[in-house]
């Protein structure tokens, strides 16, 4: 694995020379080590540095000791997030190898604590998640007064996706997004809703008037419910108005989830519809759709529950965006560790209590 010291060599330091009391690499290293060990606030990071200064001094220069909490805040508020994110992308490319058929899920998330007093807006991030590697591949901020549609192509452009299957919810079901994915040498599975004119009705009509050419059924038991998931696929595109404007479009998809509550005997059914550039192979597409939820369960849920991202009140400058990246780095490092079979919360506690374990996580 690439060493942590090398990750951010290319980050542009926003400070003028006369204000550089602390090395940029020291600030970033302390922050990542602190976040891995359970820190969530600038004060937490300062406290971590103060209580571990002797140990940190074995690896860092610390010319003026440990930075104060406001120094961490000022630095991450000022540093260019694109510079940070490019360094992250370079690091991911060294530790993660995407292969043909890997699922890459893209989804947005609001940083709820980033909303400033008197403002209605909060920072929204769009992230990419590799199911096979259990790793965040990158992120992009949604521009102010915009939505995820503008950020998704920028994120796609930054990623190496050849041979992968990219999944997105209905927000990403856009002609330009499909074109960008095909342009990266990847395939797509895009959820459809009523946000694309007649597209959803066209997909429904295809299954209403023609038989699917393949299907795949999965059954599972969860929380006292038996769920049967059926995926049907069709290559009949005649019902899709302007089908040729969707780059690479080959397949229409219908999934039906039938949930049976064992205690009450009640049943609930829900159908969803998708378009895809993949051949009409129901099992492949069904598994891709199922894996899409990994970005919610493995990334967003972990950031909120294990890292307290929704509770974070960082709202100054670039701090919300940059700290979200720090959280993703910490989560990625913890998930890459296979030496112990415990959850992320327990790994963070062990990192705080066991320096040898933390050294292994940080690869130093």
Domains of the chain by residue range? 4-80+318-362, 86-300
Average pLDDT, the chain: 91
- Reported confidence tier of residue 311, pLDDT bands at 50, 70, 90: confident
Q: What local confidence, expressed as pLDDT, does residue 222 receive?
A: 72
Confidence (pTM): 0.90
- Reported confidence tier of residue 18, pLDDT bands at 50, 70, 90: confident
Which of 271, 245, 281, 303 is closest to 127 using CA atoms? 303
- CATH number at 86-300: 3.90.350.10
Helices (H) then strands (E): counts for the chain:
15, 9
Q: What local confidence, expressed as pLDDT, does residue 2 receive?
A: 56
- Contact status, residue 280 vs residue 286, Cβ threshold 8 Å: no
Which of 200, 317, 326 is closest to 252 using CA atoms? 200
Range from 71-85, 119-133, 182-196, 239-253 carrying the lowest mean pLDDT: 119-133
- Distant-in-sequence, close-in-space partners of 24: CB < 8 Å, separation ≥ 6: 8, 11, 13, 15, 75
pLDDT at 181 over 80: yes
Cα 63 from Cα 87, distance rounded (Å): 25
Name 229's bridge partners.
218, 257
Cα 76 from Cα 45, distance rounded (Å): 13
pLDDT at 159 over 90: yes
Greater pLDDT, 96 or 283? 283
Q: Which two tokens stand for residue 312?
A: 């974070």
CB atoms within 10 A of CB 217: 13
Which of 72, 140, 74, 137 is closest to 104 using CA atoms? 137
Cα 45 from Cα 107, distance rounded (Å): 29
Q: What local confidence, expressed as pLDDT, does residue 225 receive?
A: 80
- Reported confidence tier of residue 143, pLDDT bands at 50, 70, 90: confident
Q: What local confidence, expressed as pLDDT, does residue 300 receive?
A: 93
Cα 105 from Cα 107, distance rounded (Å): 7
- Reported confidence tier of residue 117, pLDDT bands at 50, 70, 90: low
- Distant-in-sequence, close-in-space partners of 343: CB < 8 Å, separation ≥ 6: 306
Give the three-state DSSP class for 91: helix
**CA-based radius of gyration for the chain:** 23
- Reported confidence tier of residue 118, pLDDT bands at 50, 70, 90: low
Residues above pLDDT 70, as percent of the chain: 96
Strands (E), the chain: 103-111, 123-130, 135-141, 165-168, 187-192, 214-222, 225-234, 251-261, 267-276
């Amino acid at each position: 694995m690439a060493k942590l010291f090398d990750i951010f060599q290319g980050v542009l330091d926003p400070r003028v020379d006369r204000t550089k009391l602390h090395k940029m690499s020291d600030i970033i290293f302390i922050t990542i080590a602190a976040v891995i060990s359970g820190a969530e606030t600038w004060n937490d990071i300062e406290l971590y540095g103060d209580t571990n200064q002797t140990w940190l001094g074995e690896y860092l220069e610390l010319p003026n000791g440990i930075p104060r909490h406001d120094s961490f805040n000022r630095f991450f508020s000022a540093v260019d997030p694109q510079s940070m994110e490019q360094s992250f992308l370079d690091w991911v490319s060294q530790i993660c190898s995407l292969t043909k058929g890997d699922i890459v899920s893209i989804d947005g998330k609001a940083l709820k604590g980033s909303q400033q007093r008197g403002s209605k807006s909060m920072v929204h991030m769009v992230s990419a998640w590799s199911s096979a590697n259990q790793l965040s591949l990158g992120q992009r901020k949604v521009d102010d007064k915009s939505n995820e549609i503008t950020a998704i192509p920028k994120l796609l452009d930054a990623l190496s996706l050849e041979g992968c299957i990219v999944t997105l919810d209905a927000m990403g079901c856009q002609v330009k997004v499909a074109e960008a994915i095909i342009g990266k040498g990847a395939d797509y599975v895009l959820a459809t809703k009523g946000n694309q004119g007649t597209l959803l009705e066209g997909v429904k009509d295809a299954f209403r008037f023609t038989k699917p050419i393949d299907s795949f059924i999965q059954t599972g038991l969860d929380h006292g419910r038996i769920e049967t998931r059926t995926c049907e696929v069709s290559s009949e595109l005649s019902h899709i108005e302007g089908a040729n404007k969707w780059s690479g479009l080959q397949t229409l998809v219908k999934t039906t989830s039938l949930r049976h509550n064992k205690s009450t005997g009640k049943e609930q059914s829900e159908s969803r519809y998708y378009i895809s550039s993949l051949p009409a192979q129901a099992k492949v597409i069904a598994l891709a759709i199922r894996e899409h939820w990994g970005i919610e369960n493995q990334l967003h849920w972990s950031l909120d529950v294990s890292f307290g991202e929704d509770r974070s009140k960082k709202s100054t400058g670039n701090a919300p965006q940059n700290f979200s990246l720090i959280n993703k780095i910490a989560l990625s490092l913890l998930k890459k560790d296979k030496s112990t079979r415990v959850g992320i919360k327990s790994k963070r506690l062990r990192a705080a209590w066991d320096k040898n374990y933390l050294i292994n996580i940080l690869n130093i």
